[in-house]
Structure 1
Amino acid sequence: MANNRRMLVLRAVVEDYIRSQEPVGSSSITREHDLGVSSATVRNDMAALEDEGYLIQPHTSAGRIPTEKGYRTFVDKLATVVPLSAAQRRGIDTFLSGSVSLDDTLQRAARLLARITGQVAVVASPSLARSALRRLEIVPLAPGLHLAVVITDTGRVAQRTVSLPASPAEDGVATLNARINEECQGTSLAAAGERVRDIADSPAFASVRPLARSLAKVMDDMADEERSGTMYMAGASKLAQQSSAGLADLAPLFDALEEQVVLMKLMSSLSEVSQPHGVGVAIGSETHTPGLLHASVVTSGYGQSTAQTADADDADGGARRAEPIAFVGSIGPTHMDYAATMAAVRAVARYLTGFVNREEGGGETDGDAGD
């Protein structure tokens, strides 16, 4: 019973510190929270929580503030993620529904999340490596020149040109196109590349073998070039204006924001792990990023890829993986409002999931292989 009450005291300290950013004393806990015990009992609980590493006392006779361990326990056991209200959800829909493309939607989502949380928002675009092939179109452009148009299940449209010494017959190209779509629909681009290579080696497609092998390389290159996708960021200046921390404390955070590859890896790995609230949270040292030692990262995956892998030994011809195609997240100080941030990140992620899953969703067009 005492341990349960102690956790309630910890939650009260974290919530009050998030709100005031001032050390929290036992008298204010007793006054602001209906715990049914005396100030002395709360003081004893706070001392015990300090001994156990959940709280620290920055100054003698001052109140306590949460430690990284205290925040972690708060997030794991105590925080209640309240769903956004109907009005808030409508606001998200209204703000994002006016977008004209996937690109525009992701940029708007970053700005909206930054506005809601007052923190840095990061939204990644679906990488081609995580996308499944919906359809391939081979378009003749000129003698010896074809355009490969790859349409993915995430709404992206990528284009690459293919040059050949000579043009194959049109009926052979059409037959190859149909076979690729028949065998590769729903597979990852890496797996599609392997299957197209097998098709190229088939005697039935000897007349279009150079084209098929070139298409296989196109799909390999798309998967290899874009394993990370593009990242959209918003809210850094707003965080600097609102933060109570000094510029010296914020400098490492802003330096970390410049390391986009590191952020991409961190937030992507967090979004792939199954979490009780549907979001992942890394606090301070858990980010394994020096610039984020005094920051927290909240992220959620959006969309769901079920692209088949290339393991032909599986009974179904390739295992299906169910994982997010990209992520949306928020970065702020460790004293961020976790419940509100988690709710906002989850809501935006669910909107983006709906957007990319629409069959009629528009596409984002990439340039030629030389881009």
Structure 2
Amino acid sequence: MVSERGLQVLRAIVQDYVDTREPVGSKAIVDRHAFGVSAATIRNDMAQLEDEELIAAPHTSSGRVPTDKGYRVFVDHLAELRPLSTAQRSAIASFLEGSSDLDDVLTRTVRALTSLTGQVAIVQYPSFARARVTHVELVQLGGGRMLVIVVTDTGRVSQRVASVRDEFDDSDLGRIRAELGTLLVGRPVREGLERIAARIATPDEPTVPRETATILIAKAVAEELEHFRQDRLVMAGSANLARSEADFRGSIYPLLEAIEEQVTILRLMGEMVADDQGLAASIGRENEPFGLGEASVLASDYDVTGARTRARVGLLGPMRMDYPTNLAAVRAVARYLTRILEEDESGR
């Protein structure tokens, strides 16, 4: 059982190691921190921490560095979130204000977060499966191409070009538009997908050009609605991994591969358990099932009122990171993101 002073020594070791990247010795702790005890007493505390596998010596006769277990104890019991400065809050606001749509908001979000923290920033797209379709529009582009526009009650506007091979007069175009509206408008995305699938499976007069076009357009709509349901990530700051490569004992390739493929990070973020503040952290060996045993992932929930769901914004980086500041940044950005999406929802 680690003593209260031992936990404070662990705090000092984590803070000093994060600041200097150098193993921390007892004399350095005495010099930098006001414990009011001798270096010999600090060494005894460090020996206890080492017995508990919270710190380790990277080299013989060196100072000590935190283990992933030590970082976990630090985050769970010792890390007080540091309030962001006025300048940092202003930076977040300036990054996020004036966004034109959800894609732009999320892109700005990761740019703000990686700028604040120097880590890889991640934001998860919310699932819009429960959003309702409010409008379907068709615009002929010429050359047998049709622009299909789908709007949901979350404010998301999505478009896709369908190749229909023929041109249609206003009457035929109106009938296709009306049919798609009957199938989709006012219905959740999930139900709309089911109705579109049924329509594609049972075409009327399949040799008639208008019916052929209807099926092709319906397929384009189905692809777009399926896109609404898929979990996706937006990320920024991958180059920061190269700058912190010395913090990884092995290769950073597994992290780069996870960033490229996204599925691993989506699964990991989905399984992280948040505390009562909506914050979650997964550190070191906790990430081994995902091939990221030398990394830490921090996340905070944000709300999407129109989609009636939550998603996550987070950071990926080495275990040696400034947890109090990074957790505070993740939480602040998530709150700003929630507020902006709520304002956008109420403004429609």
- TM-score normalised per structure 2: 0.75
5 Å matches for 1:193-272?
Answer: 193-195=193-195, 217-218=219-220, 220-225=222-227, 227-229=230-232, 231-234=234-237, 236=239, 238-241=240-243, 243=244, 245=246, 249=248, 252-254=251-253, 256-260=255-259, 262-267=261-266, 269-270=268-269
Residue 340, structure 1, aligned to residue 344, structure 2: no
Q: Which residue of 1 aligns with 2:111?
A: 111
- What residue in structure 1 maps to residue 120 of structure 2? 120
Once structures 1 and 2 are overlaid, which stretch shifts more, 253-262 or 44-53?
253-262
* 8 Å CA contact retained: 1:111, 1:235: no
C-alpha contact (below 8 Å) 1:271/1:299 kept by paired residues: no
2:135 alignment partner in structure 1: 136
Contact 1:330 1:345 in 2 (8 A): yes
Is 2:160 aligned against 1:159? yes
Residue 257 of structure 1, CA deviation: 1.7
Determine helix, strand or coil for the equivalent of 1:158: strand
CA deviations 1:249-299 (Å, max 9, x no partner) are: 588225532443544432454256441243332222322378743332223
Report matched runs for 1:14-25 at 5 Å. Answer: 14-25=14-25
Q: Partners of 1:95 and 1:160 in 2: how far apart?
A: 31
Q: Which one is further off, 88-97 or 171-180?
A: 171-180
Q: 1:300 Cα shift?
A: 3.1
Question: Aligned-pair distance for 1:70?
Answer: 0.6
Equivalent residues of 1:253, 1:291 under 8 A apart = no
* 1:55–1:70 Cα contact (<8 Å) kept: yes
In structure 1, the partner of 2:345 is 359
In structure 1, how many angstroms separate the alpha carbons of the residues matched to 2:255 and 2:318?
A: 13
Matching of residues 318-337 of structure 1 within 5 Å: 322-324=309-311, 327-337=312-322
Letter in 2 for 1:338: Y
Distance 1:103 1:172, change over 3 A: closer
Would the aligned equivalents of 2:282 and 2:296 in 1 still touch at CA under 8 Å? yes
User: Secondary structure of the residue that 1:285 maps to in structure 2?
Assistant: helix
For residues 234 and 13 of structure 1, the distance between their equivalents in structure 2, rounded to whole angstroms, comes to: 27
Look up the equivalent residue of 1:347 and give its one-letter code: A
1:240 Cα deviation (Å)? 3.4
Q: Is the 8 A contact 2:283 2:319 kept in 1?
A: yes
Question: Which segment drifts farther, 276-285 or 164-173?
Answer: 164-173
Q: Distance in 2 between matches of 1:288 and 1:223?
A: 34
The DSSP-based 3-state class of the residue aligned with 1:23 is coil
| Counterparts of 1:76 and 1:172, CA distance in 2 | 58
Matched residues, number: 333
Cα distance in 1 for partners of 2:135, 2:105 equals 24
User: Helix, strand or coil for the counterpart of 1:136?
Assistant: strand
| Contact kept? 2:107, 2:234, Cα under 8 Å | no
> Structure 2 vs 1, CA of residues 230 and 56 (structure 1 numbering), >3 Å: closer, same or farther?
closer
Distance 2:172 2:262 in 1: 46
CA distance in structure 1 between the aligned counterparts of 2:22 and 2:176, rounded to whole angstroms: 73
CA gap of 1:294–1:180, structure 2 versus 1, over 3 A, is closer
Matching residue of 2:54:
54
Q: Equivalents in 1 of 2:190, 2:197: separation in Å?
A: 11
CA 1:180–1:118 in 2, change beyond 3 Å: closer, same or farther?
Answer: closer
Alignment of 1:304-315 (within 5 A): 304=304, 307=307
- Cα 1:130–1:87 change in 2 (3 A) is farther
Residue 368 (structure 1) aligns with:
none
CA distance, structure 2, for counterparts of residue 154 and residue 54 of structure 1: 48
Q: Secondary structure at the match of 1:245?
A: helix
The structure-2 alpha-carbon separation of the partners of 1:44 and 1:156, relative to structure 1 and needing over 3 Å to count, comes to farther
3-state secondary structure, aligned to 2:50 = helix
CA shift for structure 1 position 80? 1.5
Measured on the aligned residues, the alpha-carbon RMSD in Å equals 4.1
SS in 2 for 1:275: coil
Aligned to 1:288: 288
The one-letter code sitting in structure 1 at the alignment partner of 2:181 is N
**In structure 2, what is the equivalent of residue 27 of structure 1?**
27
Structure 1 letter corresponding to 2:110: A
**Any stretches of 5+ residues in structure 1 without a counterpart?**
202-207, 308-320, 363-371
Distance 1:216 1:262, change over 3 A: same
- Mark the CA change 1:97 to 1:158 in structure 2 (over 3 Å): closer, same or farther: same
Indicate if the aligned counterparts of 1:193 and 1:215 stay in contact, CA closer than 8 A.
no
Give the C-alpha shift of residue 71 in structure 1.
0.8
Q: Which segments of 5 or more consecutive residues in structure 2 lack a partner in the other structure?
A: 202-209
SS at match of 1:83: coil
- Matched residue, 1:83: 83
Contact 2:130 2:190 in 1 (8 A): no
Could you list the per-position Cα deviations for residues 15-45 of structure 1 after superposition, in whole angstroms to 9, with x for gaps in the alignment?
1211122222223333433445443333222
- The Cα of 1:83 is off from its aligned counterpart by 3.3
In the alignment, residue 340 of structure 2 is paired with which amino acid?
A: F
Contact 1:127 1:230 (C-alpha < 8 Å) held by counterparts = no
